[in-house]
Structure 1
Amino acid sequence: MKDRKAGKRTPRFFRETTGRKDDGPACGNGRELRKQRDAAILHLSRCREYNGLLSPLWRRFMSKYTRAVKGHKRKISHDKELGAQILQKKPRYIGNPHHKRNPGNFGLRPPSAAVAGKNLCDDVAVFTREIAQKLLETGLRRGFFSTAVCNGWPRNVWALSAQKIPLEARLDQDSGTYHGFPLSENDPLYAEILKQWENSDE
């Protein structure tokens, strides 16, 4: 199979991943084939055995398809009094379709549009706005929100799911609404939240 734009042969791995058995011109839904190819790259980047065989150059290329951990300088406030004041301002959990496989009752448009590489609320059984809102309020009540604020609203709020997985809610602009997702295990705050959550009281 050849790339129409570049005129180059597609590697054998991608031909097998997309189910193509011939080397003829690309046909059908090109966007769908690219999605399948990107999903295959993401899968390989998470495979420990395969990563051990990757050259540094190839590993660098693959890194663009993995979720990068941003905001590593985030700090937890632990100020419960400030958290109580923020709760009085009625923060709301809205959600983001990019972190949803199941639309639940969030009323988003589109209802769900899961993106490869993004952590999904479905993986921690957060399917309703009521559950997400309760987690947001619990995090604020325990003081698990960022020291960085925007117009009086903390940029990040953290909580722990029923499965003991750390969650993060991010401020949508400066409106007091949030969307969230489970943290990746390689996030610097993952272990810190697990350790400190049990020692905190509401």
Structure 2
Amino acid sequence: MFAVMKTGGKQYRVAPGDTLEIEKLAAEAGETVQFNDVLMLGGSNPVVGAPFVEGAAVQAEVLGQIKGEKVIHFVRRRRKHSSKRTKGHRQQLTLVKVTEILEKGADSSGVKAAVGAGKAPRTAEANAPAKSAAATKSAPAKAAPAAGGDDLTKLSGVGPKLAEKLQSAGVTSFAQIAGWTEEDVAKMDEALSFKGRIEREGWVEQAKALAAEKE
């Protein structure tokens, strides 16, 4: 008897005693694993699955974790000063030996299912419906006002990062900005590399108005 099974996105025709190199499994040497995706059972009474044969499975012993032959990836780009790149890769594989083919009763065999090393169990979050691109677009984070300070992002052109820079420089309230002189503005421009933004955006005038609203 033989079976056609599927694992790691590939199909294999196997019989008891066959040794296979397949994509890496989450299993240790000496363990017995069971492949439940059987597409066909061959022999005197062949059975073809739709897509899998119900109750059928292939059991195998894990002989060890190995690496495949080195694959050389060579890229030569045209019209770019003949640039080239050579990259080697060795695929992680698992060596298994087929021990038994079950025609039925795979569910009650008690042998753990073969699971790829790269597969993680689905969580509740992973099972949740995918959100649309618009819904997942995160809104820009707001810089938290300093304790006892004002929300500096209300000033034109001030985002969370700029608000953090101002707070780091000791500027935490509209009243402070409203009281800036031309010399203060020039010093702040130079200290924080604002390059004339304070005058362009009219922060002093805006700060006066916002400070007045608080009173």
For the criterion TM > 0.5, the same-fold answer is no
TM-score by length of 1: 0.18
Q: Could you state the TM-score of these two structures normalised by the residue count of structure 2?
A: 0.17
The structure with the largest helix share of the pair is 1
